[in-house]
Homo-oligomer: A and B are copies of this chain.
Amino acid sequence: MPTELATPAPTAPLSSLEGAQPLQRLIGELQAELPQLEVRVPSALTREYAVDASTRGRLAGIDIGPAVAFPSTAAEVQVIVRTAAELGIAVVPRGAGSGLAGGATADERQLVVSTERLDRVVEVSPLDEVAVVEPGVINADLNRHLEPYGLFYAPDPASWDISSIGGNIATNAGGLRCAKYGVTRESILALDVVLADGALVHVGHRSIKGVTGLDLVSLFVGSEGILGIVVAATVRLRPIPVARRTVSAFFATTAAGADALAAITRSTVRPSVVEFFDSRTLANIDAHSGSTLTARGGALLLIELDGYGIDEQSADLRAALEAVGGLVTEESVEDGEALWELRRSGRGFDPAEWFAGGDIAVPKSRIPEIFAHFPVVEERFGVTVGAVAHAGDGNLHPVITLRIPEGADPGVVPPQLHDAAVALAEFALELGGTVSGEHGIGSSKLGLAALELSERSREAQHAIKRALDPAALFNPGKAI
């Protein structure tokens, strides 16, 4: 809760529901039917539920937040959705609010359904290699819970310490290990979902295989809350690998490092993680973290190997990367962890700069071209561009920055940052890529999505949306 808010919460006129606004009626009906359910009325105190992690900058312009309900059972979610449907109130499902595309933004006429109290690990079955979890479980908490079993849940978005499984499902979250272990969709076997009429359905299977009916699990995964609210998920687990090893490979230039990715692809080694840092990113990390990465080279491939035969894997990887000029080091456990910590938290955002981000992906052979395009964008828009790439799956997150001129208002971001981000997304599309690799479309990227998807393809998506939510009450204006 932002501490600067001192306004007391307004009290809704619950005593007289006749003639009340629909949202007030909804709140009243929920309080009558579910007295144990906490529902917060729209107020200054609910402002944080109006935004996600990517749109917190808008908070200053928001006086009143949405209504927020905090169900702790699936049955409560059903009542909430059914009642909202009867009254025609839009429902915005919300996980941990860590989204990066405005997928959970909401206004004072809407009801946010927070899943944060649906936070039980219902079951862990080592012999089925599944866990059943509620959507509010934080990704990292699930993995801490699984560690004593020798198991892990593979999808590892960079937000894993703060993002929830439900939010991960809503965005089909990616992460670092996806090239080897798949994105979130590949780890979701079954879902319990509350549909737009309040019905609870179980879809999917508890086995790897199962083809009865259309694959509704995959349809709900990545649907950003526009088709239903996930209230439980059966997730696939895997044994913690017998070994893990960090290998670094430094190259003279960004171009040399990007070109070296092909050497990994041509080899028989498939690392669990391949992160590519360009020159600007290494310099940024050194400046902000006091590290000395740039002394080792102008670009870095930071690689994690795992599984059996780690020495053989490491030798094959070394041979492949040295053949293309890499300075290859098998890192000690401590040095490796220090490098991954720099990956996670080493970069800084200078308050004297404006910045804009991106989430593009390209076919992995085109990674050298997208990095080679950064200087073109820099020159055209007068900005600087650097990126770390999840290079194994073609996904990268460009960071576009511009120094704030003396006397300028830091809150007024000049259009060239946005324009540069769009230009990069357009170039990714030219390369056969996508405007969103793993963050989703939300409310922020509908324009970019329209560049990628054909009119007919979007029509098909809207037809499916109408089929499952004819009144368009689930997370309106998002995703499609």
- Residues of chain A at the chain B interface (Cβ within 8 Å): 125-130, 150, 171-172, 174, 178-179, 182-183, 185-186, 195, 199, 201-203, 205-216, 218-219, 221-223, 227, 238-242, 262, 265-270, 307-310, 312-313, 316, 361-365, 390, 392-395, 432-441, 445, 448-449, 452-454, 456-458, 460-461, 463-468, 479-480
Contact = CB atoms under 8 A, between A and B. Distances in A.
9 contacts: A182-B182, A185-B215, A205-B434, A210-B437, A211-B434, A215-B221, A218-B219, A240-B268, A307-B309
Contacts of A270: 238-239
Contacts of A468: 460, 463-464
A185 B172 CA distance: 15
Majority-rule SS of A interface residues: loop
A210 B361 contact: yes
A309 to B, nearest CB: 3
A13 B461 CA distance: 42
A209 B394 contact: yes
A476 to B, nearest CB: 15
Nearest to A182: B186
Contacts of A308: 269, 307-310, 312-313
A466 B464 contact: no
Contacts of A182: 182, 186, 208
A128 B453 contact: no
Contacts of A453: 212-213
A328 to B, nearest CB: 18
B265 A129 contact: yes
B365 A212 contact: no
Contact of A178 (B206, B209, B219, B242): B209
Contacts of A466: 467
For A195, A201, A227, which residue has the most chain B Cβ atoms within 10 angstroms?
A201
A239 to B, nearest CB: 5
Contact of A125 (B199, B365, B392): B365
Contacts of A461: 213-214, 216
B307 A206 contact: no
A454 to B, nearest CB: 6
B212 A223 contact: no
The 3 tightest CB contacts between A and B, nearest first, are A309-B309, A308-B309, A218-B218
A469 to B, nearest CB: 10
Contacts of A266: 126-127
A362 B207 contact: yes
A130 B363 contact: yes
Contacts of A364: 127-129, 207
B207 A437 contact: yes
A209 B241 contact: no
A435 to B, nearest CB: 6
A217 B460 CA distance: 12
B214 A365 contact: no
A172 B241 contact: no
Nearest to A434: B210
A456 B201 contact: yes
A156 B174 CA distance: 26
Contacts of A269: 308
B208 A460 contact: no
Contacts of A213: 441, 449, 452-453, 457-458, 461, 479-480
